[in-house]
């Protein structure tokens, strides 16, 4: 068996501190969208994190009515492809379709419709955009076939602790449908979700506050080390 060659890696000085997705996600098969394979999707709308991570794509969904200004802001700063939320709950119908068209025109490679999205909304979005429609699934009791028949191309499973179970149940009836799924907080939970049949994993990064807290802890340690070094030098001078 031919040994895989390692890939050269270059990280510039100002990009050494970034959010890295778990390496275990690389074991997923990935989903190929228009010739590009996606395994890891970072789940965030934080512009600073979007500019500083190594995921294959950004999945930008949030608990508010979708707005073109948010999509524009994210696509402006993202250095990787973006998948944008376009409603399905409070926002649906032609408004979701118009926001989806806006997202496509700003370079988004896919659009996400939330779990309650009626099939009529999926259909109208499907008539408006050429990018894949990703339908969020939160339960194994969801009528998957109805969503696929209406025009959904990819399933996005988000079932908290039951995610792997839901993926497993979907796979029994739909062995070939592309599935994105939340990986959970640990390497083991990600591994279980991939084994259940997920093709790609969404990863939730630490919050900006958490990352800043870790950085400040590092800086405080550096200052303490400098202080101790100065004290040692003073003591050495006094002894001499």
Pick from 145, 54, 156: which is nearest to 115 by CA? 156
Rounded to whole angstroms, how far apart are CA atoms 47 and 53?
Answer: 11
- Give the separation between CA 137 and CA 144, rounded to whole angstroms: 8
Angstrom CA distances, 96 to 59, 66, 152, stand at 17, 8, 14
> pLDDT > 90: what percent of the chain?
75
Nearest Cα to 126, choosing from 147, 152, 98? 152
Report the DSSP beta bridge partners of residue 110. Answer: 83
Domain 18-205: give its CATH superfamily.
Phosphoenolpyruvate-binding domains (3.20.20.60)
* Alpha-carbon span 237 to 239, nearest angstrom: 5
| Each residue's pLDDT tens digit, 127-183 | 999 999 999 999 999 999 999 999 999 999 999 999 999 999 999 999 999 999 999
- By the 10 Å C-beta count (0-12 exposed, 13-18 middle, 19+ buried), 133 is classed as buried
Q: How many residues does the chain have?
A: 240
Q: pLDDT digits over 87-133, tens only?
A: 988 898 999 999 999 999 999 999 999 999 999 999 999 999 999 99
Residue 69 burial (CB < 10 Å; 0-12/13-18/19+)? exposed
Pair 109, 33: CB distance under 8 Å: yes
Backbone φ and ψ of 184, nearest 5°: 85, 180
Q: How far apart, in whole angstroms, are the C-alpha atoms of residue 103 and residue 60? A: 11
- Give Rg (Cα) of the chain: 22
Q: Domain coordinates of the chain in residue numbers? A: 18-205, 206-240
pLDDT digits over 26-51, tens only? 999 999 999 999 999 999 999 999 99
Take residue 164 and report the two structure tokens written for it: 């792997």
The band of 2, judged by pLDDT with boundaries at 50, 70 and 90, is very low
């Amino acid at each position: 068996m031919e040994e895989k060659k390692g890939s050269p890696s270059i990280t510039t000085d100002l990009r050494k501190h970034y959010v890295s997705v778990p390496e275990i996600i690389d074991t997923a098969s990935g989903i190929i969208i228009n010739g590009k394979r996606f395994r890891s999707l970072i789940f965030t709308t934080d512009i600073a994190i979007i500019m500083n991570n190594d995921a294959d794509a950004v999945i930008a969904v949030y608990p508010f009515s979708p707005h073109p200004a948010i999509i524009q802001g994210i696509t402006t700063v993202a250095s990787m492809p973006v998948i944008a939320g376009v409603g399905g709950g409070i926002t649906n119908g032609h408004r979701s379709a118009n926001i989806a068209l806006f997202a496509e025109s700003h370079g988004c490679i896919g659009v996400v419709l939330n779990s309650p999205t009626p099939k009529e909304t999926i259909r109208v979005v499907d008539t408006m955009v050429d990018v894949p429609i990703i339908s969020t699934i939160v339960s194994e009791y969801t009528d998957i076939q109805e969503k696929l028949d209406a025009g959904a191309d990819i399933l996005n499973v988000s079932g908290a602790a039951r995610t792997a179970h839901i993926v497993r149940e979907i796979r029994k009836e739909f062995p070939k449908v592309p599935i994105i799924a939340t990986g959970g907080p640990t390497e083991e939970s990600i591994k279980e979700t991939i084994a259940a049949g997920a093709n790609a994993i969404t990863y939730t990064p630490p919050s900006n506050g958490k990352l800043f807290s870790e950085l400040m802890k590092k800086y405080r340690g550096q200052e303490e080390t400098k202080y101790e070094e100065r004290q040692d030098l003073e003591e050495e001078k006094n002894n001499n």
